[in-house]
Amino acid sequence: MNQLPGSFRRTRAYPRTHTLTRTQVLRRTWPFVLDMIVAGMGLACFYGVLKIASLWLGHMQPSVEISLSPRALPRYALLSIARIAIAYVLSLIFAIVYGYVAAYSRRLETLMLAALDILQSIPVLSFLPSVMLAMVSLFPTHQIGLELGSILLIFTGQAWNIAYSFYSSIKGLPRELQEVSTVYGFNRWQKLWQLELPFAATGLIWNSMVSVAGGWFFLMACEMFVLGARDFRLPGLGSYLQTAASAGDITAILWGLLTMIAIIVITDQLFWRPVIAWGDRFRFETDSAAPAPRSPLLHALQQSRAIRALRTRTIAPLQEHIYARLAKRRSSHQEYDKSRRRGPSYILRGAVYAFVLAAVLFFAVRALDLLQLVTLGDFFRVLRGAGATFLRVNAALLLAALWTIPVGVAIGTQPRLARIAQPIVQIAASVPATALFPILLLVLIRLRGGLELSAILLMLLGTQWYILFNVIAGAMALPTDLTRVGEVFRFTRMQRWQTIILPGIFPYLVTGMVTASGGAWNASIIAEYFRLKNETHVTFGLGSQISAATDRGQFHILLLATIVMALMVVTINRLLWRPLFRLAETKYRLGN
């Protein structure tokens, strides 16, 4: 025993109580492991940003050869993810600013809502000529011009439903919460950050999910398109799928779909599931007994010492500094005379109005000059196409509502089902129907009326998710005490739907139907005009006329069809959806 090694003797010299168990070792080392994982993720993101920036700042390549080899898919997928992510960030910022101004400005509210109705009804391809020509003119020698044009086109397919969701959440804010913010003297920033954004979090999260899904839906049209005699191609997953669909290469289509599904699953696990679990803390809930969604990744990140230090040493002091500066600025502003403050504000407001009016008049004059090329036959053909597309849009909305409302309520009210169904729904919503359309078209094209049926199904696949995700958000936002009222009074299933479920989800359902209606009109440009095996399959309608006019460079037909589509959507919103939204805002809002 005297010949034992020194290290062993030192170990035996310590008391037995100092020996670390396996659990204690894990508790001490796990935060360090988490810090290393967070640092690795940060470095990977930084490296990806550098690689993408070096590509975008290079020389312009308006038309590249899209390889159908599976080896090219990782690079294409990275580029597409970057475009969709940047477009989503821009959409979220736009939605919060636009929705906030529309909700609190009585003078601009009507005008901004009308503009929102028009913008969500304008198809992506209608934005294409002006956006791409403007971006290419700003950056004539660099690839970033084409990239920004593609990102802005994806933005036009993502932003409007998020903005409408945030606006409707602010308008449905319970009065007791508004009174609490007034009692505590919240300034605008504090009210936005601590009251309005948390209350709107559920709607924003689920509408963000469907917006990103919409970005994947229009990715094929945003990465590869024809503008007159010019053929623009950007390397990405959307251009890969469109090239495979045009060539009729089913194997390449399946490879692209598998890659996209893998990306969606990873995004769901690394981003959406933690965000949903984090956003559950902002539910307007008086009974906290309901089980909350969980995310192992969110729990692990919350244990990271690096993130905790960043929050306590950087974010929290910065937030307190901002609040202090705003409070000091508010108190100093109250010392000024109101007449002094109103003068410059009215001058600035008048200058903004004058600029907007001048811009509207300028574009109106240019549009009138372009519309002079339209013949009477073109006008009546566009009207007939609008009628045909109108019937398809309403058929798709009816079919979508029949299954999304019960399924959405079931997912939103049953947490166990939500944990299983939410990633499945996210995957199904994010897989672009345009990638499945070649297979669907090959099956239905031999049937009588197959093109009509396939167009309705493609609209359905592209718009049903707006309703489903909003219904899920509305069902998740239902207070648990309301559902327990039905259990106490032993409501039948029909009574529970009539008195609790439908009134509770009604504001979210109206928002979903409005955005789905605009999305269905938008999806018509792809559903009614599709290329397969170097052949163009056309169904008569307004969407096919817009797609054909874009391909041929007939900008007067494109402008006329876009105006007709926008007028029809705005008219439907004014006559149907706007009264329903007022009913949701007044009768079916939470609170008194």
User: Tokens at residue 242, please?
Assistant: 């469109």
CA pair distance 554, 573, nearest whole angstrom: 29
Q: Where residue 384 falls among pLDDT bands split at 50, 70, 90? A: very high
Q: Is the model more confident about 303 or about 14?
A: 303
Report helix, strand or coil for 68.
coil
Average pLDDT of the chain is: 77
Q: How far, rounded to the nearest angstrom, does the alpha carbon of residue 283 sit from its chain's CA centroid?
A: 20
Lowest-pLDDT range, 222-231, 473-482, 550-559? 222-231
- Amino acid at the residue 266: I
CA pair distance 17, 338, nearest whole angstrom: 72
Please state, for a pLDDT cut of 90, what percent of the chain lies above it.
6
Helices (H), 139-174: 144-156, 159-171
Q: Residue 199: CA atoms inside 13 Å, Cβ hemisphere, count?
A: 22
**How many Cβ atoms from other residues are within 10 Å of residue 132's Cβ?**
22
> Whole-model pTM?
0.70
Helices (H), 122-232: 124-138, 144-156, 159-171, 175-183, 188-191, 197-199, 201-217, 219-223
**How many Cβ atoms from other residues are within 10 Å of residue 368's Cβ?**
9
| pLDDT greater than 50 at residue 261 | yes
Question: Which of 416, 466, 458 shows the shortest CA–CA distance to 543?
Answer: 458
Backbone angles phi, psi at 533, to 5 degrees: 55, 50
Lowest-pLDDT range, 95-104, 330-339, 449-458? 330-339
Question: Residue 295's pLDDT is what?
Answer: 67
| pLDDT greater than 90 at residue 231 | no
Please state, for a pLDDT cut of 70, what percent of the chain lies above it.
76
